[in-house]
C-alpha cells in the first residue's frame, strides 16, 4: 500500500462526493494537527503567555523555553545580578530579565544523547540478529518453526511492567541497572520480535532461485546470503531499522523503571522538566518539540512502509 | 552497514567510558528539585573551593522523587553518593542497609546531635525512632505552613465585607474552621477585575501529596496512627470520630473553596495557583517561603505566612530531610567529608542565609532567629508541634494505600469518610501482617 | 570451486567477512548455518523474555519483596492469587481497563473506517493528507500524555477553550472530574491511534477488486447494500487484525495514561498496568505484583487466542 497511490478507488466517484470527502478528510487532518501545532507554538511563548486566559494565538515569540530547556538557573537578587556585569550572551540576557542567572547546562542534552546511543545501539543489534534469524526461518527447515515464530511474537503480549519486574532483579544482580548496555540489550530483545517478523517477510519476497544460482556457481551458502540476499534486503532492512529506532526512541516504561540517571533516556525526563517554583510549560513544549521532530520526519520518509511495520509484516501491500 | 557499526561501537565505548572515567574527586548528591536545592548548589561551591571535590547534583521533582530514588536505592545503584532522603525513608534506609550508619563517624569527628534541634534529630536521623542510632545528619528542617495574600487581607473594603458576613475581623486563621470561612469568603470573589478562589490545598494522587495535605487537618483534630505507642493497634485511632470529622472537613474544603481543576495538585501546582493570583491562601512547605518572600510578583509585603492552624490541638505535618551516605557508593570517604563540612556552624549559618532551613542550634536556636525573616518565627512554632507519617521500612506501601483511600473519598467522592478510614485500616493491617509486625 | 572469475568473486565475498569467520563458515552445512543464524535470537529471547517470565511465575507463589534482600523468601502457595481475585479494588482496575479498551476500539473503528472510506474516494492531495493524519501514532505515548495535560488545563487549556467556542459548557475539568477523566484518556488515545485503524482499513479497501462493484451496479444495488455486502466483508479481516493489535496494546496501556492522569481522580483511570507498577515498583510487593502480572498475561493471551480463532473463521 502506498499513501500516495490513491488514484485507484471504489467505482467512479462523482466530483461532488470527491469534494465532500476532501473537505471531511482535510478537516479531520487539520483538527488532528491542532495539538501538535499548539505544542510547537508553546515552545516559543514566554511562561506567562503559556498560561494566559484566553489562550493566546498571537504572541511575541521568545526563545526562553528553549533556553530553560537546556540550562539550569537560579533566582538572584538585583544587586547580585548587577555585580556580575553586563550579560555575555543573548541567552544570559534573556534569563536575567527574570531575575535569574544560568548556573549550568541542564540534563536534557545528556538524556537526549542517551536516547540516541541506546536507540541506535539497540536498533543495530536487533536488525543484525533479526536479519540472520529471518533468513534462517525463511530458507531452512527449522524444527518447530511455527511454534518458535509464534513464541517470538508472544513475547510482545506481556505488559512491559510485568517484564520489568524480573529484569529489574536480574539487572540488579548483574550490575546492569541504569547502564546503557542494559537498556540496549533489553530494547534489542523487545525489538527482535518485530525485526524477525518484518525481515522474514522481506526475505520471503526474494526468489530463492537467485541464491540457488549463486550456489551452483560455487558460492557457499553463507556467501550467497552475504553477496546475493543481503543487498536485495537493503530497503527492507532500512525500514525495519527505522521501526526499531522509533520504538526505542519512544519507549517509556522500561526507561522509567530501570534507569535513574546515567542511562536515562528523554521520555521519562521530559515530563519532569520544571522551572523554579512552577511547571515551565514552554520548556516542556520545547523539549517535546525537539524530541518529536525526528519521528515526524521519519514518518514522512517511511510513509510507504508504515503499514507493514505496524502490523508486524502481517499486511504487506 | 560498517559505518553504522563503527558508530555504534564508538557510542557504546563512549557510554562505557563515561562510567569508567569518573574521577575520584567527584561526588553526586541526590535530592528533590525545588528552591532549597538551588541554594544547596550555591552553598556547595564553598565545599568544592576548599576540598577540590567537584559536586554533581541529581534533582528530581517531588512527585517523582520517592519513586525514583527508592528505586535507585533498591537496585543498589551508584548514582548517588549522598542522599537527602525524605524523613519517612529512614526506617527502610537503616533496615535494608541503604544508608551508612554514622555514629562512629560522628564520634570521631566530634559532631554532636545535641547541636541540632531535637525534633529534627528524632525525625530525620534516628532508627529505631528515638534511639541513638544515626543514619543521617539533619539537613533541612521543614513543616507544612500557609501563605496568604496579606495585601488583600489588609484592604478596607474586603475587611468590611468580611466583617459584615462573619461578624469578626479578617485575620490570620487560628483554627481550621476559621480558615474555611475565609476561604469561602474569597471563593469566587472579584478582586481587581478577576475571579479569585479560596485556598490551594494538596490533592495530588501519585506520590504523597494528598496525604501530606489531609494530615495537616487530621493532626490538629487529634488523629493518631495507633492507640498504644509502639504497638500497631489502629482500630479506633485511625478511624476515631475526630479523624472522620477532620477528613470530612478536608473534603468540604476541597469541594467549596479550591480553584477549578485543582484535583491533582502538590507543591508546584499550589505555587502556580498562588503566584498567578488565583487564590487567597495556599498550603505549602516552609521550604518555599524564602522564594515567595523575594518573588517579583507576590514577594515583599504582598504575602504573609502563618503556621498550620490548630483545631483540638496545635499540630503541623512534618517535612524536611536528613543527609545520608549511600551504602553502595564507592566514595564514602569523600561523602563523609561533605557531611563533616556541612555540619559546621558557619556553613549552617550561610545555609539559612541562602534559603535552606538550617536546624543547627547556633542558627535556629539563636535569639534573633525568629525575627530574621517574616516566616522564621512561624517555622519555630511549627517545629514545636510536628508529627510525621509512618517511618516504618514499609512506609511507601502504607503511603500509597492512604493516597488511594483519601483521594478516592476527597476528590472522587467515593463512599464516606468512615469507610475510607476503615478500608485504610484493612490495607495497613495486611501490610503489617506481611511485614511480620502483626 | 571452479572457474577463475567465480573464484575471485567468492574470494571477494570471503574477504568482506572477517577472515577466520569466513574460513569457518565456508564449510558449514545448511543446518549449521540455520542454527547459527537463529540461535542468537533465541538465546537472547530466552535470557530476556522466557527466563524472566518463568521467574515471574515462580515469584508469584512467594512473599518475595525486592526491596528487602535479607528477608526469607517463603512459598505461600496461591495466596497472592486469592488476594488478587478476591479484591474489589482489582476488579475496579479491570473495569477501568475494560472501559478504556472498549470505547477506544469502538471510536477508533468508526472514525478510522469512515476516514478510510473517504480517502478511498481518491481526491487530489489525499496522499499528502493521509501522511499528515498518520503522524500522531508515531509519537512517544508518554510525551503525548504529558503535553495533553497542558491542553486539558481547565481554564488556560486549548481543549476546553475550543469546546466552549462551540458550546458554552464552562471550564472543562477533563483530568480532575470523575465523570470526564475516563473520557479524557479515551479521547487522547483515539486522537493518537485512529490513523492506525484507518491505515489498515485502507489496505483492506484496496484489496477489493473493482469488478465486484461493477457486478453490483448491474444488480442495481444501492450504496448501503454495496457497503454491507461487498465492502464490509472484504475489509473485516483487516479491521479485526487492527483491533487485535490495538486491543493488546491498550490492554497493556501504561505510559500515556500515567502521564496524563496518573490513575486519578481517585482510582477512576487506574488501569491494570498502572496499578501493577504501583504494587511492583512503589510498594515493592514483588510476589503479589508477579501474580498480578501473570493474571494479566493469561488474560491477554486467552482473549487474543479466542479472538484469533474468530479472525481465522472470518478469513476463511
Phi first, then psi: give them for residue B317, nearest 5 degrees. Answer: -80, 135
Residue B151 lies in a domain: yes
> What does the pLDDT average to over A216-224?
86
- Cβ pair B76:A177 closer than 8 A: yes
- Residue B295: count other Cβ atoms within 10 Å of its Cβ: 19
- The answer to whether B187 and B259 are in contact (CB under 8 A) is no
Q: What is the pLDDT of residue A276?
A: 55
| C93/C273 Cα distance (integer angstroms) | 9
Q: What is the pLDDT of residue B14?
A: 43
**Maximal CA-CA distance, chain B:** 83
Residue window 248-287, chain A: list those with CB within 8 Å of chain C: 249-253, 257, 267-268, 270-271, 281, 284-285
Please list the pLDDT of chain B residue by residue as tens digits (438 residues). Answer: 344 444 444 444 444 444 444 445 899 999 998 889 888 998 999 999 999 999 998 888 888 888 889 989 988 888 899 999 999 999 999 999 999 999 999 999 999 999 999 999 999 999 888 899 999 999 999 999 999 999 999 999 999 999 999 999 999 999 999 999 999 999 999 999 989 999 999 999 988 999 999 999 999 999 999 999 889 999 999 999 999 999 999 999 999 999 988 998 999 889 989 988 999 999 999 999 998 998 878 988 999 999 999 999 999 999 999 999 999 999 999 999 999 999 999 999 999 998 899 999 999 989 999 999 999 999 999 999 999 999 888 989 999 999 999 999 999 999 999 999 999 999 999 999 988 888
pLDDT in tens, A237-255: 988 998 899 999 999 999 9
Residue B360 lies in a domain: yes
Q: Interface pTM (ipTM) of the complex?
A: 0.87
Residues B427 and B290 in one domain: yes
Q: Which of B292, B38, B60, B209 is nearest to A274 (CA)?
A: B60
Residue B2 lies in a domain: no
Q: Is B149 on the interface with C (CB under 8 A)?
A: no
What beta strand segments (E) does chain A contain?
Answer: 71-75, 100-105
CATH classification of the domain holding B227: 3.40.190.10
Subunits with 3+ C-beta pairs closer than 8 A to C: A, B
Contacts 24+ apart (CB under 8 A), A172-177: A172/B74, A172/B75, A172/B76, A172/C66, A177/A258, A177/A259, A177/B75, A177/B76, A177/B77
Residue window 68-107, chain C: list those with CB within 8 Å of chain A: none
- Cβ pair B75:A177 closer than 8 A: yes
Q: What is the pLDDT of residue C6?
A: 38
Most A CBs within 10 A among B40, B59, B75, hence the mutation to make, goes to: B75
Chain B residues touching C266 at Cβ < 8 A: 205, 404, 407-409, 411-414
Residue window 53-72, chain C: list those with CB within 8 Å of chain A: 53, 55-56, 59, 66
Query: Three cell numbers at B232?
Result: 500497631
CATH classification of the domain holding C220: 1.10.3720.10
Q: What is the pLDDT of residue A61?
A: 93
> Using CB atoms, which residue from B206, B263, B434 is nearest to C63?
B434
Q: Is B412 on the interface with C (CB under 8 A)?
A: yes
| B414/B425 Cα distance (integer angstroms) | 17
Residue C97 lies in a domain: yes
Residue C101 lies in a domain: yes
| B292/A296 Cα distance (integer angstroms) | 41
- The answer to whether A252 and A190 are in contact (CB under 8 A) is no
Query: Three cell numbers at A141?
Result: 527447515
At a CB cut-off of 8 Å and minimum separation 6, what does C7 contact? Answer: A218, C1
- Residue C277: count other Cβ atoms within 10 Å of its Cβ: 26
Q: Is C86 on the interface with B (CB under 8 A)?
A: no
Query: Three cell numbers at C149?
Result: 495535560
How close B272 gets to chain A, by Cα (Å)? 6
- Would you list the DSSP string of chain C? ---HHHHHHHHHHHHHS-HHHHHHHHT--HHHHHHHHHHHHHHHHIIIIIHHHHHHHHHTTB---TT-TTSPP-B-TTHHHHHHHT-HHHHHHHHHHHHHHHHHHHHHHHHHHHHHHHHTT--TTHHHHHHHHHGGGGS-HHHHHHHHHHHT-TTT-HHHHHHHHHS------TTT-TTTHHHHHHHHHHHHHHHHHHHHHHHHHHTS-HHHHHHHHHTT--HHHHIIIIIHHHHHHHHHHHHHHHHHHHHT--HHHHHHTTT-STTTT--HHHHHHHHHHTS--HHHHHHHHHHHHHHHHHHHHHHHHHHHHHH-
Q: Which of A144-153, A155-164, C276-285 has the highest mean pLDDT?
A: C276-285
Most C CBs within 10 A among A155, A159, A226, A288, hence the mutation to make, goes to: A159
From the number of C-beta atoms within 10 Å of its C-beta (0-12, 13-18, 19+), residue A37 rates as exposed
Q: Which of A178, A155, A153 is nearest to A260 (CA)?
A: A178
Q: Is B3 in a helix, a strand, or coil?
A: helix
Residues B383 and B418 in one domain: no
- Cβ pair B79:A171 closer than 8 A: no
Chain A residues touching C121 at Cβ < 8 A: 9-10, 13, 17-18, 21-22
- Cβ pair A129:C10 closer than 8 A: no
Chain A residues touching B77 at Cβ < 8 A: 177-178, 260
Query: Three cell numbers at B300?
Result: 515583599
Most A CBs within 10 A among C8, C121, C211, C237, hence the mutation to make, goes to: C121
Query: Three cell numbers at B110?
Result: 566530634
- The answer to whether A288 and C143 are in contact (CB under 8 A) is yes
CATH of segment(s) A109-265: 1.10.3720.10
- The answer to whether B33 and B84 are in contact (CB under 8 A) is no
Q: Directed axis angle between helix C30-45 and helix A180-205, to 10°?
A: 140
| A308/C270 Cα distance (integer angstroms) | 33
Residue C128 lies in a domain: yes
Subunits with 3+ C-beta pairs closer than 8 A to A: B, C
- The answer to whether A284 and A273 are in contact (CB under 8 A) is yes
Subunits with 3+ C-beta pairs closer than 8 A to B: A, C
Q: Is B60 in a helix, a strand, or coil?
A: strand
Phi first, then psi: give them for residue B138, nearest 5 degrees. Answer: -55, 120
Q: What is the pLDDT of residue C3?
A: 37
Residues B267 and B165 in one domain: yes
pLDDT in tens, C245-272: 899 999 999 999 999 998 989 899 999 9
Total residues belonging to chain B = 438
Q: What is the pLDDT of residue A275?
A: 57
Q: Is A174 on the interface with C (CB under 8 A)?
A: no
Structural domains in chain C (count): 1
Most C CBs within 10 A among B1, B196, B261, hence the mutation to make, goes to: B261
pLDDT in tens, A253-307: 999 999 888 899 999 988 887 655 567 889 999 999 999 999 888 888 877 777 7
Residues B154 and B137 in one domain: no
> Using CB atoms, which residue from C176, C263, C267 is nearest to B261?
C176
> How far is CA C309 from each of CA A154, A311, B102, C304, C314, rounded to the nearest angstrom?
16, 18, 63, 9, 9
Q: How far apart are the first and last CA of chain A?
A: 4
- Residue C157: count other Cβ atoms within 10 Å of its Cβ: 25
Chain A residues touching C259 at Cβ < 8 A: 271
Residue C59 lies in a domain: no
Contact residues of B toward A, CB < 8 A: 4-5, 7-8, 11-12, 14-16, 18-19, 28, 33-35, 38-39, 41-42, 58, 60-61, 63-64, 68-69, 71-72, 74-77, 79, 268-269, 271-272, 275-276, 288, 291, 294-296
Q: What is the pLDDT of residue B24?
A: 59
**pTM value?**
0.88
Chain B residues touching C69 at Cβ < 8 A: 96-97
| A184/C48 Cα distance (integer angstroms) | 12
Residue B3 lies in a domain: no
Half-sphere exposure of C267 (CA within 13 A, CB side): 27
| B68/C67 Cα distance (integer angstroms) | 13
- Residue B346: count other Cβ atoms within 10 Å of its Cβ: 11
- Would you list the DSSP string of A223-242? HIIIIIIHHHTHHHHHHHHH
Chain B residues touching C176 at Cβ < 8 A: 261-264, 411
Residues β-bridged to residue A73: A102
- Cβ pair A181:B61 closer than 8 A: no
Query: Three cell numbers at B324?
Result: 545520608
pLDDT along chain C (316 residues), means of 10: 38 46 59 88 88 92 87 90 94 96 97 94 87 91 93 90 89 90 97 93 88 88 89 90 91 94 91 95 93 93 88 81
| B173/A300 Cα distance (integer angstroms) | 60
Domain ranges of chain A: 8-106+273-304, 109-265
Q: Which of C211, C25, C184, C224 is nearest to C96 (CA)?
A: C184
Residue-range definition of the domain harbouring residue B94? 25-142+319-387
Q: What is the pLDDT of residue B147?
A: 97
Chain A residues touching C131 at Cβ < 8 A: 3, 299-300, 303
Q: How far apart are the first and last CA of chain C?
A: 49
β-strands B386-387, B316-317 pairing: parallel
Q: Is C99 on the interface with B (CB under 8 A)?
A: no
Residues B190 and B262 in one domain: yes
pLDDT band at A156 (very low <50, low <70, confident <90, very high): confident
| C271/C98 Cα distance (integer angstroms) | 9
- The answer to whether A253 and A240 are in contact (CB under 8 A) is no
Residue A160, preceding bond cis, omega within 30 degrees? Answer: no
pLDDT band at A234 (very low <50, low <70, confident <90, very high): confident
- Cβ pair B260:C173 closer than 8 A: yes
Q: What is the pLDDT of residue B369?
A: 92
Structural domains in chain B (count): 2
Chain B residues touching A260 at Cβ < 8 A: 58, 68-69, 71-72, 75, 77, 79
From the number of C-beta atoms within 10 Å of its C-beta (0-12, 13-18, 19+), residue B166 rates as middle
- The answer to whether C116 and C208 are in contact (CB under 8 A) is no
Residue C241 lies in a domain: yes
How close A65 gets to chain B, by Cα (Å)? 17
Indicate whether A10 pLDDT > 70: no
- The answer to whether B277 and B425 are in contact (CB under 8 A) is no
Amino acid at each position: 500500500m502506498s499513501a500516495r497511490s490513491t488514484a485507484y478507488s471504489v467505482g467512479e466517484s462523482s466530483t461532488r462526493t470527491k469534494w465532500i470527502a476532501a473537505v471531511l478528510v482535510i478537516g479531520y487532518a487539520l483538527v488532528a494537527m491542532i495539538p501538535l501545532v499548539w505544542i510547537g507554538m508553546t515552545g516559543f511563548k514566554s511562561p506567562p503567555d503559556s498560561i494566559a486566559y484566553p489562550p493566546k494565538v498571537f504572541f511575541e515569540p521568545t526563545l526562553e523555553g528553549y533556553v530553560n530547556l537546556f540550562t539550569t538557573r537560579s533566582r538572584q537578587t538585583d544587586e547580585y545580578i548587577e555585580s556580575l556585569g553586563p550579560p555575555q550572551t543573548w541567552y544570559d540576557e534573556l534569563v536575567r530579565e527574570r531575575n535569574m542567572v544560568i548556573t549550568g547546562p541542564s540534563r536534557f542534552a545528556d538524556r537526549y544523547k542517551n536516547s540516541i546511543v541506546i536507540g541506535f545501539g539497540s536498533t543495530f543489534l536487533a536488525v543484525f540478529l533479526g536479519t540472520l534469524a529471518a533468513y534462517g526461518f525463511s530458507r531452512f527447515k527449522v524444527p518447530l518453526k511455527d511454534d518458535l515464530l509464534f513464541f517470538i511474537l508472544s513475547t510482545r503480549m506481556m505488559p512491559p511492567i510485568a517484564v520489568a519486574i524480573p529484569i529489574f532483579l536480574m539487572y540488579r544482580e548483574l550490575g546492569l541497572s541504569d547502564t546503557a548496555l542494559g537498556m540496549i540489550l533489553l530494547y534489542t530483545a523487545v525489538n527482535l520480535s518485530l525485526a524477525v517478523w518484518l525481515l522474514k517477510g522481506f526475505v520471503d519476497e526474494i526468489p530463492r532461485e537467485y541464491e540457488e544460482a549463486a550456489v551452483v556457481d560455487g558460492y557457499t551458502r553463507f556467501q550467497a546470503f552475504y553477496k546475493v540476499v543481503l543487498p536485495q534486503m537493503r530497503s527492507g532492512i532500512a525500514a525495519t531499522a527505522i521501526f526499531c529506532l522509533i520504538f526505542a526512541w519512544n519507549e517509556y516504561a522500561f526507561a522509567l523503571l530501570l534507569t535513574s540517571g546515567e542511562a536515562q533516556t528523554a521520555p521519562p525526563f521530559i515530563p519532569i522538566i520544571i522551572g523554579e517554583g512552577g511547571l515551565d510549560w514552554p520548556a516542556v513544549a520545547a523539549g517535546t518539540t525537539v524530541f518529536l521532530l525526528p519521528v515526524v520526519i521519519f514518518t514522512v520518509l517511511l510513509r510507504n512502509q508504515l503499514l507493514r511495520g505496524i502490523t508486524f509484516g502481517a499486511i504487506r501491500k | 552497514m560498517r559505518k553504522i557499526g563503527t558508530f555504534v561501537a564508538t557510542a557504546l565505548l563512549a557510554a562505557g567510558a563515561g562510567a569508567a572515567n569518573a574521577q575520584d574527586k567527584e561526588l553526586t548528591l541526590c535530592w528533590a528539585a525545588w528552591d532549597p536545592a538551588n541554594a544547596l548548589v550555591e552553598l556547595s561551591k564553598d565545599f568544592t573551593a576548599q576540598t577540590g571535590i567537584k559536586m554533581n547534583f541529581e534533582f528530581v521533582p517531588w512527585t517523582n522523587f520517592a519513586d525514583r530514588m527508592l528505586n535507585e536505592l533498591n537496585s543498589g545503584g551508584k548514582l548517588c553518593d549522598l542522599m537527602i532522603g525524605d524523613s519517612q525513608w529512614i526506617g527502610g534506609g537503616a533496615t535494608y542497609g541503604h544508608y551508612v550508619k554514622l555514629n562512629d563517624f560522628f564520634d570521631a569527628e566530634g559532631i554532636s546531635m545535641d547541636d541540632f534541634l531535637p525534633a529534627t534529630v528524632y525525625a530525620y536521623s534516628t532508627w529505631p525512632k528515638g534511639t541513638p542510632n544515626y543514619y543521617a545528619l539533619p539537613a533541612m528542617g521543614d513543616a507544612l505552613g500557609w501563605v496568604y495574600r496579606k495585601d488583600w487581607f489588609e484592604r478596607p473594603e474586603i475587611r468590611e465585607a468580611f466583617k459584615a458576613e462573619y461578624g469578626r475581623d479578617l485575620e490570620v486563621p487560628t483554627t481550621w474552621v476559621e480558615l474555611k470561612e475565609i476561604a469561602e469568603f474569597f471563593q469566587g470573589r472579584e478582586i481587581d477585575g478577576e475571579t479569585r478562589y479560596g485556598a490551594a490545598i494538596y490533592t495530588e494522587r501519585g506520590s504523597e501529596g494528598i496525604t501530606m495535605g489531609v494530615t495537616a487537618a487530621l493532626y490538629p483534630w487529634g488523629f493518631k496512627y495507633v492507640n498504644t505507642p509502639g504497638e500497631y493497634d489502629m482500630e479506633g485511632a485511625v478511624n476515631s470520630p475526630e479523624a472522620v470529622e477532620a477528613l470530612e472537613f478536608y473534603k468540604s474544603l476541597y469541594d467549596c473553596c479550591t480553584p477549578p481543576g485543582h484535583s491533582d495538585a502538590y507543591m508546584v501546582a499550589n505555587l502556580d495557583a498562588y503566584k498567578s493570583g488565583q487564590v487567597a491562601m495556599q498550603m505549602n512547605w516552609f521550604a518555599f517561603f524564602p522564594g515567595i518572600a523575594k518573588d517579583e510578583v507576590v514577594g515583599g509585603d504582598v504575602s504573609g505566612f502563618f503556621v498550620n492552624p490548630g483545631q483540638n490541638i496545635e499540630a503541623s505535618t512534618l517535612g524536611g530531610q536528613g543527609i545520608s551516605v549511600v551504602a553502595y557508593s564507592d566514595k564514602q570517604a569523600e561523602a563523609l567529608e561533605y557531611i563533616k563540612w556541612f555540619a559546621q556552624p558557619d556553613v549552617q549559618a550561610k545555609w539559612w542565609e541562602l534559603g535552606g532551613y538550617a536546624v543547627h542550634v547556633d542558627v535556629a536556636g539563636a535569639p534573633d532567629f525568629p525575627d530574621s525573616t517574616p516566616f522564621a518565627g512561624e517555622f519555630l512554632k511549627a517545629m514545636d508541634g510536628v508529627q510525621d507519617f509512618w517511618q516504618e521500612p514499609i512506609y511507601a506501601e502504607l503511603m500509597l494505600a492512604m493516597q488511594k483511600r483519601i483521594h478516592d473519598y476527597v476528590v472522587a467522592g467515593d463512599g464516606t469518610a468512615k469507610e475510607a478510614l476503615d478500608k485504610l485500616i484493612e490495607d495497613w493491617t495486611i501490610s503489617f501482617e506481611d511485614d511480620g509486625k502483626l | 570451486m571452479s572457474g577463475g572469475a567465480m573464484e575471485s568473486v567468492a574470494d571477494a565475498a570471503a574477504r568482506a567477512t572477517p577472515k577466520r569467520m569466513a574460513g569457518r563458515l565456508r564449510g558449514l552445512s545448511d543446518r549449521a548455518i540455520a542454527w547459527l543464524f537463529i540461535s542468537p535470537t533465541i538465546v537472547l529471547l530466552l535470557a530476556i523474555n522466557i527466563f524472566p517470565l518463568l521467574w515471574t511465575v515462580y515469584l508469584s507463589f512467594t512473599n518475595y519483596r525486592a526491596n528487602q534482600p535479607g528477608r526469607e523468601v517463603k512459598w505461600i502457595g496461591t495466596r497472592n492469587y486469592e488476594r488478587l481475585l478476591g479484591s474489589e479494588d482489582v476488579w475496579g482496575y479491570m473495569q477501568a481497563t475494560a472501559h478504556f479498551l472498549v470505547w477506544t476500539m469502538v471510536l477508533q473503528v468508526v472514525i478510522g473506517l469512515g476516514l478510510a472510506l473517504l480517502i478511498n474516494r481518491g481526491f487530489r492531495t489525499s496522499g499528502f493528507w493521509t501522511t499528515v493524519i498518520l503522524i500522531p501514532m508515531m509519537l512517544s505515548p508518554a510525551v503525548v500524555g504529558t503535553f495533553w495535560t497542558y491542553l486539558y488545563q481547565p481554564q488556560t487549556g486549548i481543549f476546553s477553550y475550543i469546546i466552549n467556542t462551540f458550546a458554552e459548557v464552562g471550564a472543562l475539568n477533563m483530568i480532575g472530574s470523575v465523570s470526564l477523566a475516563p473520557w479524557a484518556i479515551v479521547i487522547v488515545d483515539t486522537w493518537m491511534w485512529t490513523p492506525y485503524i484507518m491505515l489498515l482499513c485502507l489496505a483492506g479497501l484496496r484489496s477489493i477488486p473493482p469488478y465486484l462493484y461493477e457486478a453490483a451496479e448491474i444488480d442495481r444495488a444501492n450504496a448501503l447494500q454495496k457497503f454491507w455486502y461487498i465492502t464490509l466483508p472484504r475489509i473485516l479481516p483487516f479491521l479485526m487484525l487492527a483491533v487485535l493489535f490495538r486491543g493488546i496494546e491498550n490492554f497493556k496501556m501504561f505510559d500515556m495514561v500515567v502521564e496524563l492522569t496518573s490513575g486519578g481522580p481517585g482510582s477512576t483511570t487506574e488501569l491494570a498496568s498502572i496499578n501493577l507498577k504501583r504494587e511492583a515498583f512503589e510498594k515493592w510487593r514483588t510476589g503479589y505484583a508477579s501474580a498480578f502480572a501473570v493474571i494479566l498475561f493469561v488474560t491477554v493471551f486467552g482473549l487474543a487466542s479466542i479472538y484469533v480463532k474468530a479472525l481465522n473463521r472470518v478469513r476463511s
